[in-house]
């Protein structure tokens, strides 16, 4: 069974940093592109970032470019999102998700809440 379990969320002050993790199991992690998608409270889904299967290629939404870094450790079956210079508007539930087809996310984690507030 495919499982994605996010962790690392919490309360952080504006300008602070946080690193999210997503532990994957039940599939060959190193074979799949992975994504982060976020959802602000009461709002819609917003794509954040993606990384290819071996970690050699990454892409970011304009709103996080230069502040967030996606990475992966295929030996540990873990996806990461390093978030720096956090702003109030980054407050959201962050989901990790696995591509099952081009530009389609067939597996999602349960999400981890990041709150940016003083």
Q: Is 108 in the site for another protein (CB under 8 A)?
A: yes
How many residues sit in the footprint of another protein (CB under 8 A)? 22
Question: Is residue 95 near another protein by the rule CB under 8 A?
Answer: yes
Non-local CB neighbours of 85 within 8 Å, separated by 6+ positions? 15, 17, 67
Q: Residue 14 CB, nearest distance to another protein (Å)?
A: 25
Q: Which of residues 52-71 bind another protein (CB under 8 A)?
A: 57, 59, 61
Q: Tell me which stretch binds another protein (CB under 8 A): 15-23, 67-75, 78-86, 94-102.
A: 94-102
Q: What residues line the site for another protein (CB under 8 A)?
A: 35, 37, 44-47, 50, 57, 59, 61, 95, 100-106, 108-111
């Amino acid at each position: 069974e495919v499982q994605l379990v996010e962790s690392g969320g919490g309360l952080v002050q504006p300008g602070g940093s946080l690193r999210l993790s997503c532990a994957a199991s039940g599939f060959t992690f190193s074979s799949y592109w992975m994504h982060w998608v976020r959802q602000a409270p009461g709002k819609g889904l917003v794509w954040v970032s993606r990384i290819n299967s071996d970690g050699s290629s990454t892409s970011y939404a304009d709103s996080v470019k230069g502040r967030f870094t996606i990475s992966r450790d295929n030996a540990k079956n873990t996806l990461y999102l390093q978030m720096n210079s956090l702003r109030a508007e980054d407050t959201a539930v962050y989901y990790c998700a696995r591509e099952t087809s081009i530009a389609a996310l067939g597996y999602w984690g349960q999400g981890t809440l990041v709150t940016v507030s003083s």
